[in-house]
Amino acid sequence: MAEVRLDGVVKRYRGLAHDALQETSVTFKDGLFTCILGPSGSGKTTILKLLAGIEEVTSGRIQFDGVDVTNVTPERRDVAMVFQSYALYPNMTARDNIAFPLQLRGLPRAERYRRVDDVAAMLGIGPTLDRQPRQLSGGERQRVALGRAIVREPKVFLLDEPISNLDANLRMTTREELKRIHAELKATFIYVTHDQDDASAMGDEVVVMAAGRIHQADKPSDVYHRPADRFVASFLGRLPMNFLTGTVSDGDGSMLLHGEGGLAIDLGPRANGFRTPEGQVLIGIRPESVLATRAVGATTGVVGKVTLTEVVPPDSYVTASVDGWSVRARVVEGDELQPGDSVRLRFSLRTMHFFDPSSEQRLETASVEEPS
Residues at the contact surface with another protein, assessed by CB under 8 A? 52-54, 73-77, 79-81, 83, 85, 87-92, 100-101, 104-105, 133-134, 148, 152
**Alpha carbon distance 199, 236 (integer Å):** 10
Measured CA to CA, the distance from residue 276 to residue 345 in angstroms comes to 22
What is the DSSP-derived secondary structure letter of residue 351?
G
Identify which of residues 136 and 199 has a Cβ nearer to another protein in the complex. Answer: 136
Diameter of the chain by CA atoms? 81
- Residue 91 or 169 having the CB closest to another protein: 91
Q: How far is the CB of 73 from another protein (least distance, A)?
A: 8
In the complex, least distance from residue 91 CB atom to another protein, rounded to whole angstroms: 4
Beta-bridge mates of residue 192: 36, 160
Least CB distance from residue 75 to another protein, whole Å?
5
Closest to another protein by CB, 78 or 323 = 78
| Cis, bond preceding 90 (omega within 30 deg of 0) | no
Q: Give 54 or 264: the residue with its C-beta nearer to another protein.
A: 54
Instruction: Please answer whether residues 151 and 116 qualify as being in contact, where contact means their C-beta atoms are separated by less than 8 angstroms.
Output: yes
Nearer CB in complex with another protein: 105/183: 105
The secondary structure of the chain in percent helix, strand, coil, rounded to multiples of 5, reads 30, 30, 40
DSSP letters for 214-233? EEEEE-HHHHHHS-SBHHHH
Judged by CB, which is closer to another protein: 107, or 211? 107
- Concatenating the DSSP letter of every residue in 104-143 gives HTT--HHHHHHHHHHHHHHHT-GGGTTS-GGGS-HHHHHH
Q: Which is nearer to another protein, 142 or 200 (CB)?
A: 142
Shortest spacing between CB 105 and another protein, in angstroms:
6
Closest CA to 346 of 315, 310, 300: 300
What's phi and psi for 200, nearest 5 deg?
-75, -25
C-alpha span between 347 and 289 (Å, rounded): 7
- Min dist CB 51 to another protein, Å, is 10
Minimum CB separation of residue 8 from another protein in Å reads: 24
Closest distance of CB 23 from another protein, Å: 25
